[in-house]
Structure 1
């Protein structure tokens, strides 16, 4: 397999806790993104939104050789953002949960990424019974304590949402696809046969979070892990000199 076609690159985007979002990052967002940022009542939530969405633009800008503000988006049938205009040629996806965001980039395969904060106060058993197939609900319920149940629930939810985001479908459709024992969907329901054409794997996440990435196609791929932070006033993030990699 070739590195360009079979490596998905992931960037962890942590909250930098620097007060307001840097004006330089806000400036690279499009008008719609700025309106969405301004709609947040919390300055913390606003900063995290700006960091995550500017990170996508800066990462793509470096890859495509354009300015971050030149990136354009369109919405897929179920609302998934996709590259539009002249700045195309790669597949990208963003997820953010509380203080953590992740960006996934693939050269050719449709990609979805999801990060979930583990919520110990969540009634994970009830949520699993409501949304997951019976065998996965039993798996969540069988955990030893509420923290473990919340962890299992977050792990499965991240896998399912990553799969749905790669496909571009509805979350309600993906939640019923069993992903406990298999890295690809089982297609156990006739309407879920599309899930056979994807591969899903867990990826490292900060303490208290679970994350997963999904790619179209069932061939193995490598995951290269990076960390993105706002480094200076240039508008271009510095890629790590060495990225951790893992095979799946």
Structure 2
């Protein structure tokens, strides 16, 4: 991927951007409203097969370096499209320029390490929780005010491995999923379980260090929304989980803290 480079005409000098402590009034207002009504915003977009130079120019230096490390051009394009799309979405929400948005990481709630905590908007410095996910053909971003949000998207594929089922599903979930004959309904139900679990895990911020997936029950044969308990050591949290209906061969779920206001979820189509 060493051939990736930003066109000179579109170069963005992130170091020369506005101060890291400046927050435009429009951004303050938007985040305050989100905090009051508890709404969440979700953007989704199709993934490019090749890196778009305009998208690549929007990435910061660390993201560009990461994009270059992908061996497959398709993977580099998926990463680039997702990060550029997320930057544009946050900019649109906050009323700022895309190149003024910078992503980083929050401190891991499990170990305190700042290197592998959940993603965060670090510029403008606003209390905005973000979560990113991508799968074959689709990238997704979820945003809400506060500290915690999780989103996951997965392309449908046939999964019949008993070993995988035991690894990621509770006994109750296995009974529900395998009560369906092999076919689309079983596939949809499995992926509903998977994306609900992943959305919760991402919202908690612990990744696979947290509660084992085969003990986290998300009742996949029933429609959402639902409340899910996550237990890690002596910390118990509850999450409001709902399914996202995207117009493609994908399963997607969103997780938010169940405490506090739970406003509507606004799903934004590609622009």
Give the alignment's TM-score, normalised by structure 2: 0.73
Report the count of equivalent residues: 223
1:32 pairs, out of 62, 78, 81, with 62
Query: Which residue does the alignment assign to 2:241?
Result: 200
For structure 1, the residue ranges without an aligned partner over 5 or more in a row are 230-248
Task: Decide whether the 8 Å contact of 2:226 with 2:240 is kept in 1.
Answer: yes
State how far apart, in whole Å, the 2-side matches of 1:64 and 1:190 are.
Answer: 34
Query: Which residue does the alignment assign to 1:56?
Result: 86
Offset from partner CA, 1:49-91 (integer Å, 9 cap, x none):
1111111111112233433233141243153212225432322
Query: Which residue does the alignment assign to 1:217?
Result: 258
Task: Decide whether the 8 Å contact of 1:8 with 1:222 is kept in 2.
Answer: yes
Q: Report the secondary structure of 1:83's partner residue.
A: strand
Q: How does 1:87-102 map to 2 (within 5 A)?
A: 87-102=125-140
State how far apart, in whole Å, the 2-side matches of 1:67 and 1:57 are.
Answer: 9
State how far apart, in whole Å, the 2-side matches of 1:117 and 1:138 are.
Answer: 23
Query: Which residue does the alignment assign to 1:233?
Result: none
**Is it true that 1:113 corresponds to 2:113 in the alignment?**
no
**Is it true that 1:133 corresponds to 2:161 in the alignment?**
no
Q: Report the secondary structure of 1:195's partner residue.
A: strand
Task: Decide whether the 8 Å contact of 1:89 with 1:107 is kept in 2.
Answer: yes
RMSD: 2.5
Q: Runs of 4+ in structure 1 displaced over 3 angstroms?
A: 189-193
Offset from partner CA, 1:114-167 (integer Å, 9 cap, x none):
1011111x3254322222211111112212114433322111110011111111
Task: Decide whether the 8 Å contact of 1:155 with 1:211 is kept in 2.
Answer: yes
Q: Report the secondary structure of 2:90's partner residue.
A: helix
- Larger Rg belongs to: 2
